[in-house]
Structure 1
């Protein structure tokens, strides 16, 4: 048994155990990245509290109070119960111009925006008549409201224009909600309109943080949006029909029909399925940050064990092919240096950006491990070669991080090449052979002073 533990196979198994032990500090680093992400989310929340959060904006919705006969019990007279019914516009047009800036909270920066919105909507007279006559409730048209849903009212900077059929009007605050969103409302008297169409024009400034989504609250919805942001992420239930990206920002155009959503033009307050349906129909843009250091740190950490194992393999090949001897503690110290790379990368990337932080952290670890290899292997050339191999490994890791769409393909090919190279280099190794030993400084000093007494007696 003692002889087997000195074989090359036992050495490989021991190195594998050491590589698995390195998952412990890698898990700690991953937890640290998650903690820093939570701190950034806290910073986003703090900024949003004073500026406005993720915004949602819809078109005006006509909400009419109703009285409905409701049966209480058998053989009992009907009772009247108050409710409401909602009706959407026939056409809705939005023009959204966003100005974007970056706000900081501590070391964290977040994109915020102020959007200038021009909105026009039309409610057709024939739709009003049809829904009114088709309703099972009695419309109380003299107390109707036009409600405008806004995701976060703290971001409503100014109402620059509000006209109903060409006449100026004014929004009031309201405790009512449309789905999950608060509203601003303007009273309207349907009875006084005498079956006329309702034309609504609204101008406003709406501030928010990171995301602006819109609601297709009309039979036909047209949206034009532009912003000086070069990395938009179009999100939600619909992608733009047309969009343009250039160095100055983006512009996009959406066109949606009532057939593209899961709810109709008219519903009552008793419909419990409207809230999730409204939420599912939102669409818009998120101000994506492609240099998000935490996303890249997470991706780098996913390859941590693989690249520690690759470095251990490089040390092992030098040990076997050059008939050297590296102690398990020395492998452990090298693995600790490699794990420290991820902590240094996270700390630096928060301050100077991911690219520069990666270059500095990788250079520091390559110098440390390369210099240590020179001392351990007692060969300058071997240490420099190992440092070069480690530098190549970090270069491949950066390529995997940068290639978002092809990371899996590149990683699979690199892994295949590394396995093939390792098989080629170890093709003539006798795995049952004893591990070679090159005398270290202590052993050499003992040998120069003469053989031990026990060896002298045996000889």
Structure 2
């Protein structure tokens, strides 16, 4: 039986060695098989990235989350009247009973000037870190006399001595100072208000409220000015809602990669970004946003009109590793193509097992990259992983190809390929353009080299 199968085995082995088509099929099959460990590596990167997000969320929750400030808002009680008629059976007449109800009007300031000075830093836990900041925010402006008669409310029905000021914020935990309001040269303290936190505002924000204002400090007949400051520990972003009829905001920070978010962008002529930080200014007029300056009973959710700055790492280590791993198929395919061309042009026999070892070495690059980048920066991890894999494959190919000419060419090709991929990863706006040009040049090189191969020799 063994004697019968031997000619068939020799014939198949000879076909693999001599047939270009057979070698192409074999190399293609191995490339497809190596997608299996590449998929596991991608899942590993995703799992580590999720773990990082969990740690970042935990750090941010303890330090202070994102900041959204909505205020100050003048809360003004007023009376409304409800009449009910009741029939008296004895007298056979109706009598009218008038009930007094207390409602609230919410008045936004005539102008609002906000300044935010942000100092960012990183907090680490194990191998993970999060960007956090401390922000000192100051607000000033003035209120004009409310025009509630436009809403059908008479001045005589307004309870001026029960007015107060409220501030809505997303980050009570992060507040680092007592918040005191200077209104018409009188100081008022704010306290947390949990009693009617959701009754008058549909946005998911916490509330600070002052005590009752002196009647002389309420804009009953003339404008009154205000100012206050708030210090926050925060993360992710800082935003305000532009409730002033004219709203100005100036923000400065040592953060070098700001992302301006929300419904309004800063003025281009005042925006300055450098490696040392940024400074930006916004100006929003009441005609730029679709909400009123005063509301009765309840304020609609105006969070959608907020604007500000996002403080996030533009491309973190795991994002870079994930983007790098997406090119794994390209790296393996091009490396196998180089070996295939060398084998075809020089008639050097390369066993499928040797292709497999080279492919596994290429996949090891990504596990090295992820593990080292957790303890160092991405560039150092990329260099260490790249040099290790290139040296390993170059030395291994020396034992296969016997001469130094081809292994040195393979080492140079891998170095160029990894450098090309690193450049693409660093680019954002031009990644597609540079990648397309690079792939075109690679294709042109392969076409140029392969023109000497006799594809009919099968």
TM-score (norm 1): 0.85
Gaps of 5+ in 1: 435-459
Aligned residue number for residue 456 of structure 1: none
Contact 1:7-1:431 within 8 A present in 2 as well? no
Aligned residue number for residue 106 of structure 1: 126
Alpha-carbon displacement from aligned partner over 1:431-458 (angstroms, at most 9, x marks no partner): 3424xxxxxxxxxxxxxxxxxxxxxxxx
Aligned counterparts of 2:358 and 2:255: Cα–Cα separation in 1: 43
Aligned counterparts of 2:296 and 2:126: Cα–Cα separation in 1: 47
Q: Please give the secondary structure, in 1, of the residue aligned with 2:189.
A: coil
Q: CA deviation at 1:327?
A: 2.0
- CA 1:7/1:158 → structure 2, altered by over 3 Å: closer, same or farther? same
Contact 2:180-2:190 within 8 A present in 1 as well? no
1:163 pairs with 2:176: no
- CA 1:198/1:312 → structure 2, altered by over 3 Å: closer, same or farther? same
Aligned counterparts of 1:406 and 1:215: Cα–Cα separation in 2: 34
Aligned residue number for residue 30 of structure 2: 18
Contact 2:179-2:190 within 8 A present in 1 as well? no
1:173 pairs with 2:201: no
Q: Please give the secondary structure, in 2, of the residue aligned with 1:210.
A: strand
Aligned residue number for residue 116 of structure 1: 136
Q: Please give the secondary structure, in 1, of the residue aligned with 2:142.
A: strand
Name the Cα RMSD after superposition. Answer: 2.8
Aligned residue number for residue 215 of structure 1: 241
Aligned counterparts of 2:369 and 2:98: Cα–Cα separation in 1: 72
Of 280, 288, 311, the residue aligned with 1:260 is 288
- CA 1:143/1:26 → structure 2, altered by over 3 Å: closer, same or farther? farther
TM-score (norm 2): 0.85
Aligned counterparts of 1:207 and 1:188: Cα–Cα separation in 2: 29
1:228 pairs with 2:248: no
Aligned counterparts of 1:379 and 1:71: Cα–Cα separation in 2: 104
Contact 2:82-2:99 within 8 A present in 1 as well? yes
Contact 1:110-1:210 within 8 A present in 2 as well? no
Of 290, 313, 328, the residue aligned with 1:304 is 328
- CA 1:382/1:163 → structure 2, altered by over 3 Å: closer, same or farther? same
Q: Please give the secondary structure, in 1, of the residue aligned with 2:349.
A: coil
Of 58, 64, 70, the residue aligned with 1:46 is 58
Q: Please give the secondary structure, in 1, of the residue aligned with 2:452.
A: coil
Aligned counterparts of 1:364 and 1:78: Cα–Cα separation in 2: 88
Q: Please give the secondary structure, in 1, of the residue aligned with 2:375.
A: helix
Aligned residue number for residue 419 of structure 1: 443
Aligned residue number for residue 90 of structure 2: none
- CA 1:208/1:430 → structure 2, altered by over 3 Å: closer, same or farther? same
Aligned counterparts of 2:183 and 2:412: Cα–Cα separation in 1: 73
Q: CA deviation at 1:222?
A: 0.4
Identify the range of structure 1 (209-218 vs 354-363) with the bigger mean alpha-carbon deviation. 209-218
Aligned counterparts of 1:236 and 1:420: Cα–Cα separation in 2: 45
Alpha-carbon displacement from aligned partner over 1:34-78 (angstroms, at most 9, x marks no partner): 222222222222222322111112231223446667999xx9x99
Q: CA deviation at 1:340?
A: 1.1
Aligned residue number for residue 350 of structure 2: 326
- CA 1:81/1:326 → structure 2, altered by over 3 Å: closer, same or farther? farther
Aligned residue number for residue 421 of structure 2: 397
- CA 1:259/1:402 → structure 2, altered by over 3 Å: closer, same or farther? same
- CA 1:299/1:225 → structure 2, altered by over 3 Å: closer, same or farther? same
Q: Please give the secondary structure, in 1, of the residue aligned with 2:250.
A: strand
- CA 1:261/1:70 → structure 2, altered by over 3 Å: closer, same or farther? farther
Q: CA deviation at 1:168?
A: 0.7
- The count of residues paired between Structure 1 and Structure 2 equals 425
Match runs of 1:27-426 below 5 Å: 27-65=39-77, 84-125=104-145, 127-131=146-150, 133=152, 141-159=160-178, 161-175=180-194, 176-177=197-198, 178=201, 179-189=203-213, 193=218, 194-241=220-267, 242-269=270-297, 274-275=300-301, 278-290=302-314, 292-426=316-450
Q: Please give the secondary structure, in 2, of the residue aligned with 1:18.
A: helix
Identify the range of structure 1 (262-271 vs 91-100) with the bigger mean alpha-carbon deviation. 262-271
